[in-house]
Amino acid sequence: MFKTNFQKGLFTILVGLAIWFMPVPEGLKPQAMKIFAIFVATIVGFILHPLPIGAIALISVGLTGFLKVVKPAEALAGFGNATIWLIVSAFLFALGFIKSGLGKRIAYKIMAAIGSSSLKLGYTMAITDLIISPATPSNTARGGGILFPVVRSLCSAFESEPDEKSRKRIGAYLMKSTFQADCITSSMFITSVAPNSLCVALAAQAAGVNISWGGWALACIVPGLLALIICPYIIYKLFPPELKETPEAPEIARKELEAMGPMSGDEKTVLGVFLMALGMWATSSFTGFNATMIALVCIGLMLCRHAIEWDDVIKEKGAWDTLVWMGGLMSLATALNKSGFITWFAKIVAANMGGISGITALIILAVIYMYAHYGFASLSAHVSAMFAAFVAVAVEAGAPAGLSAMALASLTGIMGGLTHYATGPAPIYFGAGYLTQAEWWKIGFIVSVVNLICFLGVGTIWWKVIGLW
């Protein structure tokens, strides 16, 4: 459609101007409309790519402050977001794994055990995520800090790097499969991602529904496991790796391990720091330690032990690029929420729910709730803005309260798989460079449909069996 970056940029600007000068709908503040205009233009820019996405985000943030849509401090607030810095730390953790050779060692050990096919590796990552998810209340810490370094090292071990020549060898498949599995496990336990606990609190306020840890786990175990079984396979079919069968891989891996010899001092340092971080992340719900602060302290320990050097940190372009564009987008999403736009949008939806059955209304609301996440860069922001209102509307339309609360709450994790900015781990895996933005969005949408069928289709039947409605 567009042949040059100039055309792409011009179209992006025109979209923003068109929304900016549109008549402000009743019930919406002019400021909210202006923020929405900049936000939509930013997303269009991300899609069309007239400039690197970091540059687009920087321009958008600058415009919100320059045009006095928001105060300068509010425009820059996203760059101080703790989740953003957890993402940066995940990149640096991966750097430690790669530079020390520990990641390579782990990769070869996995290859030696089950490296006979790329599909088996996909399921290995999914199972690993499932095992640690109940005790890791941050999908960024789990998917980004724990699994990403291993996946990245596996890619290198199979000679699949983020370039057009080798990215599809196995790297693109492993990156997308592992990320999507992380989103599914985020929906399976209250403690697998922080916004789930917010859903529990809001469900009690909006509909008088009390969801226990065990009740959530029981409700989501069947649809979650089904989605987790399907996910690696469907991505394998949608985006097949060039390297499918690797019967020689286990023997190759064993030879490489022999050549590497015993663990080096740097490997032991990274492993020790990693295990410490894992333990502290897993117990953070009890200790109260912040996941980002844990990560930064651990990065500091690796620097003190010279497992990584400050020059390595400076040269980690993926981390700093992600900081810029994700921080900018977080600022815009926060401003959009504070402006009242999302609340207004929710009320518009509610006003059009009359005359249909409760279950039908719930399904419609759930689908809208799910795909409204294209406009969010944070699961927490999405839940805060829309969850309570949508549960209340569903109950008012005649849907059972327990079913309404659980159905919408179960979508919290899986909606993070839609875009490359939808949740903390997304920019980490996307930032690795193995998939284009178009590929990421396409696969994310198809997987989201499958996940919806699992949770709202099979899940609803299962919830009837266990007496949820």
First to last CA, the chain: 49
As a whole number of angstroms, the distance between CA 6 and CA 324 comes to 23
DSSP collapsed to 3 states, the chain: CCCCHHHHHHHHHHHHHHHHCCCCCCCCCHHHHHHHHHHHHHHHHHHHCCCCHHHHHHHHHHHHHHCCCCCHHHHCHHHHCHHHHHHHHHHHHHHHHHHHCHHHHHHHHHHHHHCCEHHHHHHHHHHHHHHHHHHCCCHHHHHHHHHHHHHHHHHHHCCCCCCCCCCCCCHHHHHHHHHHHHHHHHCCCHHHCCHHHHHHHHHHHHHCCCCCHHHHHHHHHHHHHHHHHHHHHHHHHHCCCCCCECCCHHHHHHHHHHHHCCCCHHHHHHHHHHHHHHHHHHCHHHHCCCHHHHHHHHHHHHHHCCCCCHHHHHHCHHHHHHHHHHHHHHHHHHHHHHCCHHHHHHHHHHHCCCCCCHHHHHHHHHHHHHHHHHHCCCHHHHHHHHHHHHHHHHHHCCCCHHHHHHHHHCHHHHHHHCCCCCCCHHHHHHHCCCCCHHHHHHHHHHHHHHHHHHHHHHHHHHHHHCCCC
Among the residue ranges 5-19, 159-173, 239-253, 438-452, the one predicted with the least confidence is 239-253
Instruction: Quote the distance between the C-alpha of residue 305 and its chain's center.
Output: 31
- Give residue 63's pLDDT: 95
Contact 402, 209 (CB under 8 A): yes
- Give residue 252's pLDDT: 80
pLDDT at residue 219 tops 70: yes
Closest CA to 180 of 135, 216, 130: 130
Between these two residues, 354 and 182, which has the higher pLDDT value?
182
Q: What is the token pair recorded at 376?
A: 């969010």
Contact 284, 294 (CB under 8 A): yes
Structure confidence at residue 416 as a pLDDT band (50, 70, 90)? very high
On the 0-12 / 13-18 / 19+ scale of CB atoms within 10 A, 238 is: middle
Contact 196, 190 (CB under 8 A): yes
Structure confidence at residue 389 as a pLDDT band (50, 70, 90)? confident
- Give residue 350's pLDDT: 66
As a whole number of angstroms, the distance between CA 395 and CA 411 comes to 17
CA contacts within 13 A on the Cβ side of 57 = 23
As a whole number of angstroms, the distance between CA 20 and CA 37 comes to 5
Instruction: Quote the distance between the C-alpha of residue 182 and its chain's center.
Output: 8
Contact 407, 452 (CB under 8 A): no
Average pLDDT, the chain: 89
pLDDT at residue 37 tops 70: yes
pLDDT (mean) for 129-145: 84
CB neighbours (10 Å) of residue 212? Answer: 10
As a whole number of angstroms, the distance between CA 285 and CA 190 comes to 11
- Give residue 449's pLDDT: 97
Q: What is the token pair recorded at 112?
A: 């030696």
Contact 153, 182 (CB under 8 A): no
Q: What is the token pair recorded at 230?
A: 């399907």
CB neighbours (10 Å) of residue 181? Answer: 27
- Give residue 386's pLDDT: 85
Q: Which residues pair with 117 in a beta bridge?
A: 245
- Give residue 346's pLDDT: 67
- Give residue 375's pLDDT: 84
pLDDT (mean) for 399-414: 95
Q: What is the token pair recorded at 265?
A: 């001092």
Closest CA to 404 of 438, 369, 371: 369
Between these two residues, 202 and 173, which has the higher pLDDT value?
173
As a whole number of angstroms, the distance between CA 163 and CA 450 comes to 29
Q: What is the token pair recorded at 431?
A: 């930032």
pLDDT tens readout for residues 295-336: 899 999 999 999 999 999 999 888 898 889 888 888 888 888
pLDDT tens readout for residues 138-181: 888 888 888 898 889 889 888 899 999 999 999 999 999 999 99
Between these two residues, 123 and 338, which has the higher pLDDT value?
123
- Give residue 251's pLDDT: 86
Q: What is the token pair recorded at 330?
A: 């977080």
As a whole number of angstroms, the distance between CA 330 and CA 376 comes to 8
pTM of the model: 0.76
Closest CA to 178 of 213, 195, 153: 153
pLDDT (mean) for 241-263: 87
- Give residue 442's pLDDT: 96
pLDDT tens readout for residues 38-92: 988 998 888 788 999 889 999 999 999 999 999 999 999 889 888 788 878 888 8
On the 0-12 / 13-18 / 19+ scale of CB atoms within 10 A, 66 is: exposed
- Give residue 354's pLDDT: 66
